[in-house]
Amino acid sequence: MTLRLNGSTSGYVEIDAPAAAGSNTLILPDGNGTANHSLVNDGSGNLSWFNGGPAFSAYPDVATNVANVTFTKINLQVEDYDTGNCFASSRFTPNVAGYYLFTMAVQATALAQLAPILYINGAMRYWGNSMGSNTFDSNGVAIAYMNGTTDYAEMYAYQASGGSAFINDQRYRTFFQGILIRPA
C-alpha cells in the first residue's frame, strides 16, 4: 500500500512500506524542527529532531600546579562553547548516549615528561602523547563511549620532571574538547 501526495501543480511524493511490512508505526514530531536537524528514532517508532549532540571546548583561566608524578585534574573555568549545556565544574556529562571524540592539550612552563589523560567516571582511561623529557606541549585524542546519563569525562595531567610544573592557562595551549561522533 502506497500513500501518494500529489503536488499542487505537478508530480507527487509517495510514502511506501516494504513488501513484508510487519506491524510498525512511526510517529512524527510535532514541529518542523530547526535547520540542519535530522530525524532520529528512539527505537519505539517515536521520531524526534536531533541537533547532532553535545559538543564543548574549554580551557583554564589560571595555571595549575602539578606536583611531580601526581595525576592532577586540570580545572577548566572558561568555555568556548557548550552546545548541550553538558559541561560544568570542569566536567563533561553528556546527555546523549554514544561515542565521543575527545581532544586534549596541556602545556607546561617547566621541563617535564608531560601528558594529558582522559578520565572517565573518575578513573584513568586514555593517555595522550608523552614524548619523554623536555616536553613542553603534549596532546591526546581518544574516543570513549558515554551512557548519556551518568558518565562523565575530565582531563588530568601528569608530569615526571622531578619537580613541580605549572600547566599553562593559555587557551591555545591547554584545552579540553569533546563532541558526539556516533549516537549509541
Partner 1 sequence: MTLYEQITALYPELTSDDFSPFGGTIALQNDSDGRGDYIREWNHPTLPEPTPKQLAEVTQ
Enumerate binding residues for partner 1 (CB under 8 A): 64, 66-75, 90, 124, 127, 156, 158, 160, 164
Q: Which is nearer to partner 1, 64 or 107 (CB)?
A: 64
- Set of cell numbers at residue 154: 575530565
All residues at 6 or more sequence positions from 79 whose CB lies less than 8 Å from its CB, including other chains: 56, 57, 58, 87
Minimum Å distance from CB 175 to partner 1? Answer: 16
Minimum Å distance from CB 151 to partner 1? Answer: 17
Q: Which is nearer to partner 1, 96 or 154 (CB)?
A: 154
Q: Which is nearer to partner 1, 165 or 180 (CB)?
A: 165
d(CA 113, CA 106): 11
| Side chain identity, residue 182 | R
Compute CA 37 distance to the chain's CA centroid, rounded to the nearest angstrom: 18
Minimum Å distance from CB 165 to partner 1? Answer: 11
d(CA 100, CA 177): 10
